[in-house]
Amino acid sequence: MSTNSTKPRDDATGRSAPDSRDPFTRLGWQGIVAQVPESWNLAVVSGDRASGYFRADAPERPRFEVKWWKPTQSVSLNQVLERYVRELQKKSKRSQPRIEAQVGVRLVSRRKMRKPEMLGFTWMGEQTAWGLIWRCDECDRVVMAQVLGASDENIKSLAERVISSMEDHSSDGWDPWGAYGFLYEIPDDFALDTFRLVTGKLEFRFTRGRLKEEFISVCRWGMADVLLKEVALEAWLASSFPERYKDLRMDFTTAPVKGHSGAALLGQPRSVRKRIQERAQSVVRRRSPARFIANAWHCAESNKIFSAECNVRPDDDYLLHDVTESIICHEE
């Protein structure tokens, strides 16, 4: 890997990255968690927990990339980086500065990362990057993370702060998720199934089991003052939830949630046939079928409406409470 001619910039030169002075927040995706400037938001995601990628962008440029995979055989981190740099050099245009890289640089200590097998790297071309690649024996994943900047930016300190904060698996069976300022936790045996980002609304749905009968959904609606301008929260929920769950009859109980005005919801199948089928299956399988329960509330401090929704068996009803409590609806 070439290290001659132009060397990557270190902390001694270059202008500071402007977002390094921003407040930091959690970015969590597929068990990968980092503390990043709050102006960075997910721009690209792909894959799943076993193998995937995400990129977070600042308003002016891409800032943070993470790639992970489960290797099927022994892997050399040095060889992975060599291939990566060759790919970068192939993709760079002739009019752009040649990409020069260094492997084995010190970015984060092994003590801080708690990873015996890891390798720091940096490269510079039209832009610059500082990163780290490591293998985790606990989650059996190789993770490669890098912070990006303009070629005249000094980003090493920012990269060290972001990457040293990273975790690649949960320690208590709950994955911290965080995207677009929406922070919550989900049991790690539920897998991300779908997510929707539309104007004024975020929705993430996680499923468990081959048939995906059991699920957890978390939602956030913005501009609550507009949504509730001419209608009370209970009436708004009574109209919005049946639209999303047309096969369920919703029962609402007004109750405070997390110190805010809110409601508890219980969904029952509208179809009599479906209810009879569920009763019959519970007798045959000797276990109760999954049922829909939810909490929803209006957070005036953040001007948003939140919901935590579970379709789980009664023995797992506690998940609704725990997911609800994990949602950060406003900063204290």
CB 186 within 8 A of CB 275: no
Q: Which residue type does 226 have?
A: V
- The 3-state DSSP class for residue 204 equals strand
Q: How far apart are CA 61 and CA 39, in angstroms?
A: 11
15-164: CATH topology: Protein Transport Mog1p; Chain A (3.40.1000)
CB 94 within 8 A of CB 75: no
Please list the residues that pair with 249 across neighbouring strands. Answer: 268
Q: Which residue type does 303 have?
A: N
Q: How far apart are CA 249 and CA 241, in angstroms?
A: 10
Please list the residues that pair with 257 across neighbouring strands. Answer: 260
Q: What is the pLDDT of residues 172-219, one digit of tens each?
A: 999 999 999 999 999 999 999 999 999 999 999 999 999 899 999 999
Please list the residues that pair with 68 across neighbouring strands. Answer: 52, 143
CB 312 within 8 A of CB 294: no
Distance of CA 155 to the CA centre of its chain: 23
Phi, psi of 87 (to 5 degrees): -65, -40
Nearest to 204 by CA among 26, 30, 25: 30
* Domain spanning 174-326: CATH superfamily: Mog1/PsbP, alpha/beta/alpha sandwich (3.40.1000.10)
Q: What is the pLDDT of residues 35-56, one digit of tens each?
A: 999 999 999 999 999 999 999 9
Cross-sheet strand order for the sheet of 174-179: 32-37, 24-29, 174-179, 182-187
Q: What is the pLDDT of residues 218-274, one digit of tens each?
A: 999 999 999 999 999 999 999 999 888 988 989 999 999 999 999 999 998 875 565
Residue 158's pLDDT is what?
97
Burial class (CB in 10 A: 0-12, 13-18, 19+), 325: middle
pLDDT at residue 14 greater than cutoff 80 = no
Mean pLDDT along residues 274-289: 60
Q: Which residue type does 23 have?
A: P
Range(s) of the chain covered by CATH 3.40.1000.10? 15-164, 174-326
Asked which of 33-42, 88-97, 101-110, 250-259 is least confident by mean pLDDT, the reply is: 88-97
Burial class (CB in 10 A: 0-12, 13-18, 19+), 106: exposed
Residue 138's pLDDT is what?
93
Total Cβ atoms within 10 A of residue 200:
13
Q: How far apart are CA 178 and CA 40, in angstroms?
A: 11
pLDDT at residue 4 greater than cutoff 50 = no
Q: How far apart are CA 317 and CA 298, in angstroms?
A: 22
